[in-house]
Amino acid sequence: MEGDFRSARVAVVGLGLMGGSLCAALRTRNACREVIGVARRPATLQMARDLRFIDRGTVDVQEGLRDADVVVLATPVRDILAKLATIGPLLAPGTLVLDIGSTKRAICRAMENLPAGIQPLGGHPMCGRETSGLAMADPTLYRDRVFVLVPLPRTAPWALAMGCSLARGIGARPLVIDAADGEASVAEGCPAAARHDRLVAAISHLPYMLAAALVEAAAATAEEDPLAWELAAGGFRDTSRVAASDPTMMLDILATNRDEALRALRHAQGQLERLARLLEEGDLKALRRAIEAARNRRMEVLS
């Protein structure tokens, strides 16, 4: 539906932490005409109604999507893929379909198969918590956070503008990812999605893998000496935090971004091997340079 987001009926499919918080933000900020929740379990819908996060809700996807001008898919990535394969016939022509999954290539490929009258748009809000579920939803989750939008070659300008309005409507800062220079001609359905997946592999999926490795490596020491956990302070806590992320969400992310996650991981392994060699050789001058370089970089990019 071309037009004003404020007059849109928005159906959100999946009322977990991300979908629930999105509904809560839309309702709290009065950002659109109606918020329709779609969930698998009636108890989830009841909680969403009780919290006033949705105007109405249903377990029936067909019913939920029938009157929607905007559909937001907010389930784990592989569930989004399954839904994209089936919802086409349920959507009215002119509907905007936006997802908020954490990887974009597989999703944008699946979006290409939606009926011609539908407007698809990839989305990825750069926020999240290591908690999950509607009970942890928070209307301020998206506030001042970057909300990445990944247009497909077929996405109309008005649909992209509508996605930006939705992002602003929940308090986020829209950031449109275009195909990087020189990549537009790559034999790939959606160059912007490929660019997105490479970036988040380094900036989001790699931190997860390092955190998970940290937890398991520390556990090996703690098995020899359980006192280890009592010494865990802020450094361990922060560095390992994302290891507590929802497992289905993380598995779907890694499963749909294997090559780029592996590429980022190989980079990090190279860095760690470099550190290991400096320790082994006792080359303290080079070790100091490595420590100072990492610190300067961290302070430069994140103040």
Site residues (CB under 8 A) for a second copy, limited to 87-106: none
CB of residue 206 vs a second copy: minimum separation in angstroms? 6
Cβ 132 to a second copy, closest distance in Å? 10
Distance between CA atoms of residues 164 and 238, nearest Å: 32
**Binding residue (CB under 8 A) for a second copy from 89, 157, 182, 282:** 282
Question: What string marks each residue from 101 to 140 as x (binds a second copy by CB under 8 A) or -?
Answer: -------------------------xxxx-----------
Contact status, residue 145 vs residue 126, Cβ threshold 8 Å:
yes
Q: Choose between 50 and 224: whose C-beta lies nearer to a second copy.
A: 224
Q: Is 231 in the site for a second copy (CB under 8 A)?
A: yes
Report, in angstroms and rounded to the nearest whole number, the Rg of the chain calculated over CA atoms: 21
Q: Does 256 bind a second copy (CB under 8 A)?
A: no
- What DSSP letter does each residue of 221-256 carry, written as one string? HHHH-GGGGGG--HHHHHHHGGGGS-HHHHHHHHHT
Closest contact distance (angstroms) between CB of 23 and a second copy is 21
Nearer to a second copy, 29 or 129 (CB): 129
Determine the Cα–Cα distance for residues 24 and 302; give it in Å rounded to an integer.
Answer: 29
* Residue 50 CA to its chain's centroid (Å): 26
Six token digits for residue 46: 């009841």
Identify whether the C-beta of residue 170 lies closer than 8 Å to the C-beta of residue 31.
yes
* Shortest CB 245 distance to a second copy, Å: 7
Q: Would you give the DSSP letter of residue 134?
A: G
**Sites for a second copy among residues 29-58 (CB under 8 A):** none
Query: Is residue 301 close enough to count as binding a second copy by CB under 8 A?
Result: yes
Query: By CB under 8 A, what part of segment 152-211 binds a second copy?
Result: 175, 177, 180, 195, 198-204, 206-211
> Are 189 and 109 within 8 A, CB to CB?
yes
| Of 105, 80, 106, nearest in space to 97 by CA | 80
Number of chain residues interacting with a second copy (CB under 8 A): 92
